[in-house]
Amino acid sequence: MTGDSLVFPTKEQAIVCNAIADLTLTDYVKAIGRIVSPKNVIYAFKLSKERICIYLSATFWVDEVVSNHSSISIKDKGICVRRLINPARRIILSNVCPSIPNRVLENQIKAFGFTTLSQMTVMKAAILDDEDKEYSHVLSSRRQIYVQPSDTVELPSSLVLKFENTNYRIFFIYDDICFKCKLTGHHANECPNLTVEATPNPLSAPTPVALTTTDLHSFNAPASSNKRPHTDDVDEETSEPNSLDLSLDGKSKKLKASDSTESLTPMSDLLLPARELITEKHDIFPLDFNQTVEFMGKAHGEKDILPLIYKYTDDAEGIVNQLYEIYTVLDHKSIKNRCIKVQRKIRKAINATKARFYQPGINQG
């Protein structure tokens, strides 16, 4: 294009996605071109922070890509696509019972004081079924709605909603809040406010265990009969020499300096910094936020961890991976230590199960 034929688009006509090392700019352009047709791709270039920016011929095509193709596959790699400029803020509601109509939730958002710019919609469950797509219609417990970005209303973190004589706790969050620095306007993988720490994550990288759900359920693990009492928010196993208490045998017991405050903090508040991460990776993590809160409260004093896991999921290794990731965004030392201990407990149980299952003479047909 030259002279008068040159098009100067607005930023509302641009989409952005993360740059992958093995992919070229041509790969991205062709992938988007297959969706909107090649003639509607008018600019393409790399941005800072490992991003690819593509301008389309009209905002209509941006709406089409973001609404129906927010995740695309390029050479078997999943790529998330989003707007360069968001004309509206999106509120994500989680833990919503399917029986609650959208209009009830829309009215609640308006009651908060927001100006809604779209109708409430249900988000898909992201069932992985690449072959026949027979389950692509399955929906999740999350809903979304767009609101006026200039609204200065404070969004509550959760609300108890009464519907048909039943109370439901629903969680709210903006989708443009970075779960690392807690500021708006960018996502965690683009966070400019944190530097990489030199100290490695004390949770070692998860090691894959060649163990299937069938293997884990092939025998009955002995039930734990002597569970020591525990609370949902006290971590007795870690201590620092700052204050003393007397145990029942008269011996001094060390307490953590943070016990006075963290021991009084509900588990849901201790895990709150990880809520957005858990919400963002709902299709990867085996537990949602509420399940994570409940599981972490019970797992600390649970000696026989696998039966507890099976109350929530068959993916024990997935919980190990989830704890590894949420550790990085937690603030309180006690809950970070608990993540480490529960992760180790699960790994130990999985390895013990694997060893027992594969002993000579067992399950050999």
pLDDT at residue 208, rounded to an integer: 45
pLDDT at residue 211, rounded to an integer: 43
Give CATH for domain 3-83: 3.30.70.330
Q: Is 120 exposed, middle or buried (0-12, 13-18, 19+ CB in 10 A)?
A: buried
Question: 225 — alpha (psi -120 to 50), left (phi > 0) or beta?
Answer: alpha
Residue 322's closest CA among 281, 265, 359, 264?
A: 281
Q: How far apart are CA 174 and CA 153, in angstroms?
A: 12
Q: What is the CATH topology of the domain spanning 89-176?
A: Alpha-Beta Plaits (3.30.70)
pLDDT at residue 125, rounded to an integer: 80
**329-364 tens-digit pLDDT:** 888 888 988 999 998 899 888 888 766 655 555 444
pLDDT at residue 207, rounded to an integer: 43
pLDDT at residue 100, rounded to an integer: 95
Residue with tokens 């959760």: 158
Indicate if 89-176 has the same CATH topology as 3-83: yes
Q: Which two tokens stand for residue 199?
A: 């100290």
Q: How far is CA 185 from CA 45, 89, 90, in A?
A: 21, 10, 12
What angle, 0 to 180 degrees and rounded to 10, lies between the N-to-C axes of helices 333-357 and 289-299?
80
Q: Is 256 exposed, middle or buried (0-12, 13-18, 19+ CB in 10 A)?
A: buried
Domain ranges, ordered by start, for the chain: 3-83, 89-176, 213-357
Low-confidence residues in the chain, pLDDT < 50:
195-201, 203-262, 362-365
pLDDT at residue 123, rounded to an integer: 87
**186-242 tens-digit pLDDT:** 555 556 555 444 344 454 444 444 444 444 443 333 343 343 333 333 333 333 333
Residues in CB range of 173: below 8 A, 6 or more apart:
91, 92, 94, 155, 157, 275, 276, 279
Give the residue ranges of DSSP H helices in 38-176.
59-68, 102-112
DSSP-derived pairing of the beta strands 71-74 and 89-94: unpaired
